[in-house]
A = this chain, B = another copy of it.
């Protein structure tokens, strides 16, 4: 049997469990951005020893949610405009590539599934006008599918395991709901159409634009906050 992707795999070890809990806590701001991580404190809080906790911290560092300095401890990352732009710069390129590869490698069945997913989103989105969480979850779901469709394990690993938690953290903590909801759906549709037509070049272009639009939207919000 084919091994499920690590990100989707359910936790089997104590380190896995505490990793997911801390990940959620950091992403949702339950543990404040920029705050110092105390190993003894977290160990007490989650009721386990420091060994599995440190294993979890190592993986948190891997997905850029914390930064560690030897003998000095770990801090939760601080969110910044420059950091966000650097992250989206990379996303634009990597997800563009993912689209191009998805156009080559996705099966017709997988494409059909994504289309069904979008139809689902559309109907549920009509009901919950502008409710940001569902939009976000749906958006991430779409992007996940396309990324997995690239069939490039390194690319999948980077996007799904290492970058997306940070993307979500920015979205949640800077409140990126915005008025892009319905427009994003149309863009998703156009992207999956290009993939279905096996037009990798177009899919690449559309995805880059899609993410660039999202990035501009974020920049505007940040600018307004700054004033």
Chain A interface residues toward B at CB < 8 A: 3, 12-13, 16, 51, 54-55, 58-59, 62, 64, 69-71, 83, 86-87, 89-90, 93-94, 97, 101, 152-155, 157-158, 162-163
Q: A158 to chain B: which residues have CB within 8 Å?
A: 90, 158, 162
Q: Are A70 and B16 in contact (CB under 8 A)?
A: yes
Q: What 10 pairs between A and B have smallest CB-CB spacing?
A: A58-B58, A86-B152, A93-B97, A12-B70, A90-B154, A13-B70, A62-B62, A86-B154, A90-B155, A87-B154
Q: Mostly helix, strand, loop or mixed at chain A's interface? A: helix
Mind listing 10 A-B residue pairs with CB under 8 Å? A3-B69, A12-B70, A13-B70, A13-B71, A62-B62, A64-B154, A87-B154, A89-B97, A89-B101, A158-B158
Q: A101 to chain B: which residues have CB within 8 Å?
A: 89
Residue from B70, B83, B89, B93 within 8 A of A93 (CB atoms): B93
With A51-B51, A90-B152 as contacts: A12 and B58 at CB distance below 8 Å: no
Q: A153 to chain B: which residues have CB within 8 Å?
A: 83, 86
Across the interface, name the chain B residue whose C-beta is closest to A85: B152
User: In the complex, how many angstroms separate the beta carbon of A120 from the nearest chain B beta carbon?
Assistant: 31
Q: A90 to chain B: which residues have CB within 8 Å?
A: 97, 152, 154-155, 158
Q: A163 to chain B: which residues have CB within 8 Å?
A: 154
Q: A64 to chain B: which residues have CB within 8 Å?
A: 154, 157
A62 to B16, CA, bound (A): 16
Q: Add 10 more A-B contacts to A89-B97, A89-B152, A158-B158 (CB < 8 A).
A: A12-B70, A16-B70, A51-B51, A64-B154, A83-B153, A90-B97, A90-B152, A90-B155, A93-B97, A158-B162
A91 to B223, CA, bound (A): 34
Q: A89 to chain B: which residues have CB within 8 Å?
A: 97, 101, 152, 155
User: In the complex, how many angstroms separate the beta carbon of A51 from the nearest chain B beta carbon?
Assistant: 7
User: In the complex, how many angstroms separate the beta carbon of A165 from the nearest chain B beta carbon?
Assistant: 13
A170 to B62, CA, bound (A): 23
